[in-house]
């Protein structure tokens, strides 16, 4: 699986399907618009399809949001959590049992602290 910011505010993700008895096959790239600089990729719900977790591309000082989009998952709705502050970073934590946790670091403009939010 690979991902890179290919064009302004767009993330291009390409997933490879690999099996021990066959060579890896790459799926067609998927482009997601409106992506800011903070993003992470993981199979959050362990269903075999990766999700992209990203901060939206907003102007500094504007409200921000974290979105979760399933790659190749048109049948799954995207999840969105809006914040009244900017998202400074995203981390994924795998507790070993249960789903992967999404942590967003959120900071108001001019603030000296960062608040950590766990997305459900």
* 8 A C-beta contact, residue 49 and residue 68: no
pLDDT, residue 90, reads 93
Distance CA 68, CA 28 (A): 20
Q: Measured in whole angstroms, how far is the alpha carbon of residue 29 from the centre of its chain?
A: 16
pLDDT for 91 beyond 90: yes
Q: What percent of the chain has pLDDT over 70?
A: 88
* 8 A C-beta contact, residue 41 and residue 90: no
pLDDT, residue 74, reads 66
* 8 A C-beta contact, residue 106 and residue 86: yes
pLDDT for 71 beyond 90: no
Cβ atoms within 10 Å, residue 70 = 20
Summary mean pLDDT of the chain: 81
Is beta strand 64-70 parallel, antiparallel or unpaired with respect to 35-42? unpaired
3-state secondary structure of 120: coil
């Amino acid at each position: 699986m690979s991902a890179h910011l290919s064009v302004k505010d767009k993330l291009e993700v390409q997933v490879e399907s690999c099996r021990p008895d066959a060579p890896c096959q790459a799926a067609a790239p998927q482009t997601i618009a409106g992506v800011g600089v903070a993003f992470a990729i993981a199979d959050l719900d362990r269903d075999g399809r990766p999700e992209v977790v990203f901060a939206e591309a907003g102007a500094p000082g504007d409200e921000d949001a974290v979105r979760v989009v399933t790659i190749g998952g048109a049948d799954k709705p995207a999840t969105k959590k809006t914040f009244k502050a900017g998202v400074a970073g995203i981390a994924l934590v795998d507790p070993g049992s249960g789903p992967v946790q999404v942590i967003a670091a959120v900071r108001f403009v001019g603030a000296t602290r960062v608040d950590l939010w766990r997305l459900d």
